[in-house]
């Protein structure tokens, strides 16, 4: 708690103290042809063909590059910028140049995922211009276009992201660096659901144990970066239509002058239940009532507002707020559906560049997020006349912030702190009486952490990056009336509080070889906390009780990763390999009772246990420019998960559950001026390496064929796609979903799916 108070005090001090600003080096802004800023562009400072500095443009498109001592050999620098969806550009700048403005021209349609050879180890960016070509209903589904990334589809929307076989608490999902957590213990409402496509500028994905900036990035960190307002007045309406009655209307408007910029937007998404390759709706596989079968699969409204103030030439402040309201969402994989799911996100960001002394730049972020979620079986036959028989009332809120400083040209240091509260009340209705159960008994998790990163370009070819971090966390059950009987019966403890301390660190090395190729390797170790559900859930109002394990320890990942990147004029190849040792990896298990209970007859309960496990595999991506107009893209990924058996707690299978099989894809694209046509394929192998402990069964392989068309005419752009062209009937292996509230059924993927989008800007 003391560490948390120190972190929050640092936030307040940095807000109120005036910052002395020193002279900057090469500064400027990156924008697109309309004047809108481009965030996350890679900006380089070049002396001839030699890179002497690089950075990424900030939320307002701004960048600062430190001039090396001695000055450029030719008497001037060259500044270049590149970003997904744009053509690279460069500009000559005199020594001590100021206020450089780089304008990136829109590129022809490109692949939806652009992995730069100069990107950090295991890092990729998803460009929204490419994602708009896909029929994905949410970001969880869209991100599965990345190699090594899969999804768990529980409904027509709200897909969970799986990265190299790790999901939920094992990966970090952030929105503009802020944490938002779902309230449902079955992940009805994963974090990626609470952001709309129309809000998003790009998505940054860093795989592996190589992130020390954010606590809990055990297997990956996904940062969803939203749009920032540009200069002038802009209005951008968009309309998307698709099979199964899908409809999405969005409108974004912004205005900006040199001192103030404002952006606001609204989006509405809705759809009926999709049909699979056999022509059956997903509601036909689950005991829905007649009325429930015909209900819409989801209805979601989202509105957002972003204000940015330029306090001075080197100081900016931004404020943002987003409200999302979801009505009924049908979840055929689970025993209940989402009746309401409302989410709020609010935050501020302050940045100062060119600060005097040792501190060059300062960034301060703060945020508040909350989700209120109600689920029930009101649409199922079990509801008996439309009044639910079982329900859950869940809520979670998170408040946090961070301070980062750039110390000199090589070191970034900072602190992070947040507090999350999570509460779930289970409800059972029978004979006009309602019984309640504090399933997740108002658990508060408070964390404070400190981190530092270091990077150095030793030679023109050798670059080294490293990071360290330390975290302290306190977890407390705040509901004093919560029962501890299940903890005692199945785990021999009545503990309702935990304190955890652990460190993280990594080192990454990249070596540029002659001929535009690069070798990279790294080692990282980090951990993640068990969450409130894994430690303290207590659900006894069922024939299958579920109980948390208060004795769970921090899960640790020790990972080695290496790869090679080759770039030629017409060909790009990037293979990558990883191997992870996981200590205290948290698995769902059938926990045997340690003592008998007069009121509880079950001899086992669904619970959580820690095992030692290993993950290994690889990814491959390639791009070949066959002619000036014809290109071929493709890739593939594989992950293998192994666990040490623990028969005493019914962990007998050596196969980790919920592992994606071998998968590959390819896309042949023809581009003519501002139009394109593409044919693409995706193939997935049969998955036989399943966990019998959780009832997984082998899943057959499948191959899919798709088509895309699109064109741009001035300010108007359109795209069309046809997925699963041959109307295949198939399951994804990750369609299995674990407890609690699992229906125990596999639901097939959508059949032939037509999607169209029209966008206009003025």
Domains defined along the chain, listed by start: 2-103 (2.60.40.180), 113-760 (2.40.170.20)
What does the pLDDT read at residue 110? 39
Q: Which residues have C-beta within 8 Å of that of residue 580, sequence separation ≥ 6? A: 208, 209, 219, 557, 558, 559, 560, 614, 615, 616
Query: What is the structure's pLDDT at 759?
Result: 86
Residue 119 has a pLDDT of: 45
pLDDT of residue 180: 95
pLDDT (0 to 100) of residue 252 = 94
pLDDT of residue 541: 63
Give the Cα separation of 246 and 197 in Å (integer): 14
- Sequence-separated (6 or more) residues with CB below 8 Å from residue 351: 58, 59, 315, 316, 361, 362, 363, 364
pLDDT for res 120: 53
Distances (CA, A) of 77 to 46, 74, 91: 6, 8, 8
> In this predicted structure, what is the pLDDT of residue 3?
42
- Distance from the Cα of residue 309 to its chain's centroid: 28
Residues with pLDDT less than 70, the chain: 1-25, 33-36, 49, 59-60, 69-71, 73-75, 84-87, 95-98, 105-121, 126-133, 385-386, 541-543, 596-601, 736-741, 743
Distances (CA, A) of 301 to 31, 341, 515, 544, 710: 30, 11, 51, 36, 27
Q: Cα(587)–Cα(609) distance, rounded to whole angstroms?
A: 5
d(CA 152, CA 167): 9
> Looking at residue 412, what is its pLDDT?
93
Distance between first and last Cα of the chain: 51
Cα separation, 297 vs 324, in Å, equals 17
What is the C-alpha separation between 689 and 616, in angstroms, rounded? 14
The position carrying tokens 């100062």 is 352
Predicted confidence at residue 560, as pLDDT, reads 96
Are the CB atoms for 292 and 335 separated by under 8 Å?
no
Give the torsion sign (CA, 6, 7, 10, 11). Answer: negative
Contact 204, 223 (CB under 8 A): yes
Kindly report the backbone phi and psi dihedral angles of residue 284, in degrees, each rounded to the nearest multiple of 5, phi listed first.
Answer: -80, -15
Could you give the CA distance from residue 581 to residue 643 in angstroms, rounded to a whole number? Answer: 10
Distance separating alpha carbons of residues 682 and 415, to the nearest angstrom? 43
Residue 465: enclosing H or E segment and its boundaries?
Answer: strand 462-477
Q: Give the tokens for residue 56.
A: 């990424």
Q: Are 265 and 250 in contact (CB under 8 A)?
A: yes
Question: H or E segment at 462?
Answer: strand 462-477
**Which spans in 193-306 are helix H?**
290-293
Are 319 and 365 a contacting pair, CB within 8 Å? no
Question: What confidence score (pLDDT) does residue 49 get?
Answer: 65
pLDDT value of residue 15: 38
pLDDT for position 277:
94
C-alpha distance from residue 615 to each of 584, 601, 724 (Å)? 13, 37, 31
């Amino acid at each position: 708690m003391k560490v948390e108070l120190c972190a929050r005090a640092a936030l307040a001090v940095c807000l109120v103290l005036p910052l002395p600003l020193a002279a900057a080096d090469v500064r400027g802004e990156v924008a697109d042809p309309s004047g809108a800023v481009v965030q996350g562009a890679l900006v380089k400072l070049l002396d001839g063909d030699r890179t002497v500095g690089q950075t990424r443009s900030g939320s307002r498109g701004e960048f600062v590059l430190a001039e090396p001592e001695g000055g450029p050999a030719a008497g001037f620098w060259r500044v270049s910028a590149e970003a997904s969806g744009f053509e690279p550009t460069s500009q000559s700048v005199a020594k001590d140049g100021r206020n450089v403005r780089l304008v990136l021209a829109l590129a022809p349609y490109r692949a939806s995922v652009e992995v730069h050879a100069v990107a950090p180890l295991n890092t990729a960016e998803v460009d929204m211009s490419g994602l708009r070509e896909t029929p994905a209903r949410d970001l969880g589904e869209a991100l599965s276009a990345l190699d090594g990334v899969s999804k768990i589809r529980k409904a027509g929307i709200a897909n969970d992201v799986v990265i190299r076989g790790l999901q939920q608490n094992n990966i970090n999902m952030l929105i503009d660096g802020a944490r938002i957590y779902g309230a449902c213990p079955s992940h009805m409402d994963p974090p990626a659901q609470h952001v709309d496509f129309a809000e998003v500028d790009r998505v940054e994905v860093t795989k592996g144990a190589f992130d020390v900036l954010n606590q809990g990035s055990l297997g990956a960190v996904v940062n969803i970066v939203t749009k920032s307002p540009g200069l002038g007045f802009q209005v951008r309406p968009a309309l998307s239509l698709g099979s199964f009655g899908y409809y999405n209307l969005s409108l974004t408007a912004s205005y900006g002058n040199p001192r103030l910029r404002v952006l606001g937007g609204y989006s509405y998404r809705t759809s009926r239940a999709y049909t699979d390759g056999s022509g059956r709706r997903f509601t036909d596989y689950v005991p829905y009532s007649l009325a429930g079968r015909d209900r819409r699969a989801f209805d979601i409204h989202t509105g957002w507002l972003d204000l940015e103030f330029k306090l001075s030439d080197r100081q900016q402040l931004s404020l943002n707020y987003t409200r999302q309201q979801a009505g009924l969402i049908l979840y055929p994989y689970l025993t209940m559906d989402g009746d309401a799911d409302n989410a709020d996100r609010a935050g501020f960001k302050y940045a100062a560049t060119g600060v005097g002394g040792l501190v060059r730049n300062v960034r301060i972020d703060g945020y508040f997020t909350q989700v209120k979620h109600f689920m029930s079986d009101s649409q199922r036959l079990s509801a008996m006349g439309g009044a639910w028989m079982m329900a859950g009332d869940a809520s979670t809120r998170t408040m946090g912030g961070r301070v980062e400083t750039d110390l000199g040209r090589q070191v970034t240091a900072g602190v992070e702190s947040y507090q999350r509260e999570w509460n779930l009340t289970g409800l059972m209705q029978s004979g006009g009486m309602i019984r309640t159960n504090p399933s997740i008994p108002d658990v508060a998790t408070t964390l404070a952490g400190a981190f530092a990163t270091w990077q150095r370009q030793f030679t023109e070819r050798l670059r080294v990056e490293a990071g360290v971090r330390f975290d302290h966390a306190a977890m407390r059950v705040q509901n004093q009336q919560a029962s501890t009987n299940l903890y005692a019966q199945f785990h021999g403890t009545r503990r309702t509080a935990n304190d955890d301390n652990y460190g993280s660190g990594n080192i990454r090395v990249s070596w540029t070889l002659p001929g535009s190729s690069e070798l990279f390797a790294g080692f990282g170790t980090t951990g993640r906390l068990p969450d409130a559900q894994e430690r303290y859930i207590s659900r006894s109002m069922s024939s299958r009780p579920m109980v948390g394990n208060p004795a769970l320890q921090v899960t640790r990942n020790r990972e080695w990763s290496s790869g090679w990147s080759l770039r030629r004029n017409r060909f790009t190849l990037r293979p990558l390999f990883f191997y992870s040792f996981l200590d205290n990896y948290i698995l769902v298990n059938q926990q045997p009772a340690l003592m008998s209970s007069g009121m509880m007859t079950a001899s086992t309960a669904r619970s959580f246990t820690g095992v030692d496990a290993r993950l290994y595999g690889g990814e491959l991506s390639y791009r070949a420019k066959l002619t000036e107009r014809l290109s071929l893209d493709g890739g593939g990924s594989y992950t293998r998960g192994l666990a040490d058996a623990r028969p005493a707690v019914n962990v007998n299978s050596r196969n980790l559950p919920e592992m994606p099989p071998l998968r590959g894809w390819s896309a042949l694209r023809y581009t003519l001026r501002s139009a394109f046509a593409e044919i693409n394929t995706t193939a997935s192998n049969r998955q036989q390496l399943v966990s019998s402990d959780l009832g997984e069964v082998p899943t057959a392989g499948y191959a899919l064929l798709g088509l895309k068309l699109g064109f741009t005419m001035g300010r108007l752009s359109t795209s069309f796609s046809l997925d699963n062209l041959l109307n295949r009937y198939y399951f994804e292996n990750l369609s299995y979903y674990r407890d609690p509230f699992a229906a125990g059924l596999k639901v097939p993927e959508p059949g032939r799916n037509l999607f169209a989008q029209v966008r206009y800007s003025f």
